């Protein structure tokens, strides 16, 4: 099946052929766990800049054409991310905690300029790992990530 789309930044078009894309895949990519209103509310409630929110809104509108069908691929990806955020809060909290710790180190005069760029990504990674450890105790997160990854596999060709 032919897949096509347009790069929203450059306007350049791309096309690819994927034999493993089936009507069932297109149908599954068209079904969302969360409503558009719920996704919009989650984005609105984020503590981030207006530019970031605008980016997320525009990302949610990204589409590709698969054969005769238009698939809201950006919306589907955000649906997965928001579902994971709601289902596995420890990993999210760990990343946020690491980012705050990194920001605090980076804000120390003189030392922060040197240590901030090194410490912040490490703190975020350690926070994520700690949170993931809590969420992975029942192996549900591993299964969910594998399931999400597998659902996009027909596009990997």
Q: Which pLDDT value is given to residue 138? A: 61
Containing structural domain, residue 103: 88-157
CB 13 within 8 A of CB 6: yes
- Dihedral sign of CA atoms 109, 110, 113, 115 in order: negative
Residues 94 and 73 in one domain: no
Distance CA 27, CA 10 (A): 29
Say what the pTM is. Answer: 0.57
pLDDT in tens, 97-125: 777 788 878 877 777 777 788 888 888 88
The lowest-confidence range among 9-18, 29-38, 87-96 is 87-96
- Of the candidates 23, 29, 16, the one whose C-alpha atom is nearest the C-alpha of residue 150 is 29
Confidence band, pLDDT 50/70/90 cuts, at residue 156: low
Domain count of the chain?
Answer: 2
Q: Which pLDDT value is given to residue 9? A: 65
Q: Which pLDDT value is given to residue 152? A: 72
CB 70 within 8 A of CB 5: no
Residues 22 and 66 in one domain: yes
pLDDT in tens, 40-82: 888 888 777 888 788 888 878 888 888 888 888 888 888 877 7
Residues 113 and 136 in one domain: yes
């Amino acid at each position: 099946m032919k897949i096509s789309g347009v790069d929203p930044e450059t306007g350049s078009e791309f096309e690819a052929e994927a034999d493993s894309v089936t009507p069932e895949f297109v149908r599954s990519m068209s079904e969302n766990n969360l409503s558009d209103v719920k996704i919009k509310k989650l984005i609105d409630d984020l503590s981030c800049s207006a530019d970031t929110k605008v980016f997320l809104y525009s990302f949610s509108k990204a589409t590709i054409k698969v054969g005769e069908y238009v698939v809201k691929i950006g919306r589907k990806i955000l649906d997965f991310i928001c579902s994971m955020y709601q289902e596995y809060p420890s990993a999210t909290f760990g990343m946020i905690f690491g980012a705050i710790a990194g920001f605090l180190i980076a804000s120390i005069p003189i030392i922060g300029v040197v240590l901030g760029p090194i410490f912040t990504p490490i703190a975020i990674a350690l926070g994520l790992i700690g949170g993931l450890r809590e969420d992975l105790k029942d192996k549900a997160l591993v299964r969910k990530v594998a399931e999400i990854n597998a659902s996009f596999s027909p596009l990997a060709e």
